[in-house]
Amino acid sequence: MTIYNFSAGPAVLPKKVLETAQSELLNYRGSGMSVMELSHRSSLFDEIICSAESLLRELMEIPDNYKVLFLQGGASLQFSMVPLNLAQGKKALYVDTGAWSKKAISVAKAISTLDVEVIASSEDKSYNYIPELPQTVDQAAAYVHITTNNTIEGTAYSTIPNFGKVPVVADMSSNILANDYQVTDFGLIYAGAQKNIGPAGLTVVIIREDLLNQTAIFAPMLDYALQVKSNSMYNTPPTYSIYMAKLVFEWLKDQGGIPSIFEKNKEKAKILYDAIEKSELFKSPVRSDSRSLTNIPFVTGNVELDKAFNQAALAEGFQNLKGHRSVGGMRASLYNAFPLEGVRAFVTFMEKFESEQGGK
């Protein structure tokens, strides 16, 4: 049976990437060692991390005045690093669009010296839309933090806001490399790798040079400027995850890069949204102008029926469809590596399930 993995993260990886990793697992480039066993200071690993960076720069068209960091601690550590580095003595502004942004806000608020303000929220409607943002914000603020794609609620910004001199900081964990974003619309982008980049353990940070902190941070590991100075090797970086990310970037380039993968993602999402619209059984809880391409929640409105659907889906090889515990129902995550034929097979299954309900 073919398994289609709809997991929100850690998520499906391209089969081709896994095959390459398998073929190189025991003996990387004739070294007689696995990448896992290489020194992070070796020339073989240096080539891996350098090509990972240059491939990412090429894919996202990252300008020279932005630095790329390969860190650890997940997106969650960035909830602390961003305010600690960027908001020294300045106000930090946040948009509250779901569970992850809420967490980012509470972590920032826990830093006692910090002045945090939430400038817009969609909590009033269980985060089922992207709220309208103020036209202007305090120009002395350090940044406006947004979550480009809300993994749990299934919403995404259709356009990236502009606040003049105040940079936009984005948690892009669940749709980095899936949309054709302009890096120059952001001051800082961060993403945990396990959704659209590679295995867990790696966090990518892209930061505009002028935002690098001038004063050292009390904890060196949390200091962007020091991490930049050390080329992400202040300590041992997550070497194998960086190697896997490099293979994923190569695969993305082979797919035609971001413009082409973005078109494919739109096609995949459209097939599923169309099936939900057509259905009389399934509904999308998300307002139509705010829908995500990568994370698509849907419900029947009946908890027992949701459960029956999830069970029947599992039996057919459609894995990890259960919605987040805070939302319920189902959630299909259609990241870059999720195949088009998997979406087609799945909507056929949805139709079959619905027609069988009619007979009961």
Ligand X SMILES: *Cc1c(COP(=O)(O)O)cnc(C)c1O
Sites of contact with ligand X (CB under 6 A): 9, 74-76, 100, 147, 151, 171, 173-174, 192, 195
Answer yes or no: 67 catalytic.
Answer: no
Dihedral (CA of 117, 223, 100, 139) sign: positive
**Cβ distance to ligand X smaller for residue 67 or 145:** 145
Name the binding residues: 41, 75-76, 100, 151, 171, 194, 235-236
Three-state SS at 108: helix
Q: Is 280 left (phi over 0), alpha (psi -120 to 50) or beta?
A: alpha
Strand partners, 155: 150, 291
Answer yes or no: 223 catalytic.
Answer: no
As measured in angstroms, the least distance from the Cβ of 149 to ligand X is 6
146: Cα separation from own chain's centroid? 13
| Residues ≥6 apart with Cβ < 8 Å to 220 | 226, 234
As measured in angstroms, the least distance from the Cβ of 146 to ligand X is 10
| Residues ≥6 apart with Cβ < 8 Å to 343 | 268, 271, 272, 332, 334
Which of 64, 96, 115, 171 is labelled catalytic?
171
Where are the strands (E) in the chain, listed by range? Answer: 4-5, 66-71, 91-96, 115-121, 143-147, 149-150, 155-156, 168-171, 188-192, 203-208, 295-298, 318-319, 330-333
Neighbours of 340 (CB within 10 A): 13
Which of 195, 246, 268, 322 is labelled catalytic?
195
Q: Greatest CA separation found in the chain?
A: 69
Which of 67, 96, 100, 306 is labelled catalytic?
100
What residue type is 91 in one-letter code?
K
As measured in angstroms, the least distance from the Cβ of 224 to ligand X is 17
Answer yes or no: 322 catalytic.
Answer: no
How many angstroms separate the first and last alpha carbons of the chain?
A: 27
Active-site residues, by number, are 100, 171, 195
